[in-house]
Amino acid sequence: MRVLGIDPGTAIMGWGVIEQDGGAQRALAFGALETPSEMAVGDRLKVLYHGLQRIIDQFRPDRAAVEELFFGQNVKTAIHVGQARGICLLALAEAEISLTELKPSEVKLAVAGYGAADKAQVERMVVRLLGLDETPKPDDVADALAIALTGYEYWRYRERVAGS
């Protein structure tokens, strides 16, 4: 199974593709789609959408996991993240890729063993679980790989339950 994890954002959208390799998961590819702040919002979303389409076409994931919107104190940021999530959901739906949406606390719990883990703890576990030489940068990329790992376990569990 190949899973695409996405950490949505308008300025930076982290993404990571993982797959099973023997008894462990490995990172097949990862990176960030970035847009400049001076670009019009519609143009930024178009860049992200087409970038995500290219990633889907190139790596052909079987499943996907996208982080749910965490509504903090900054409404403007939440709106932009919501717009970026929307284009993620559209691109995945058009490609007919099943997806799960994960809360940040679910990802932290699954990857670091603690639902309130800090960014550094999650990053260390992503490096360890995927056998990477260094922490992926920017942070959004490590987050996307953590989302992919959590999504992988979610989909694997669903398949086991369906098969029993």
User: Which residue of the set 7, 106, 123, 143 is catalytic?
Assistant: 7
Query: Of 38, 43, 57, 67, which is the active-site residue?
Result: 67
Strand, helix or coil at 38? coil
Judge contact between 131 and 24, C-beta under 8 A: yes
Helix (H) or strand (E) holding 2: strand 2-7
- Please report which helix (H) or strand (E) contains residue 164, including its range: none
Q: Does the annotation count 140 as an active-site position?
A: yes
Length of the chain: 164
8 A C-beta contact, residue 16 and residue 55:
no
Q: Where are the beta strands (DSSP E) in the chain?
A: 2-7, 12-21, 24-34, 63-67, 98-102
Residue 7 designated active-site: yes
Catalytic residue among 106, 123, 140, 143: 140
SS3 of the chain: helix, strand, coil, percent, to 5: 50, 25, 25
Judge whether 68 counts as a catalytic residue. no
Residues taking part in catalysis: 7, 67, 140
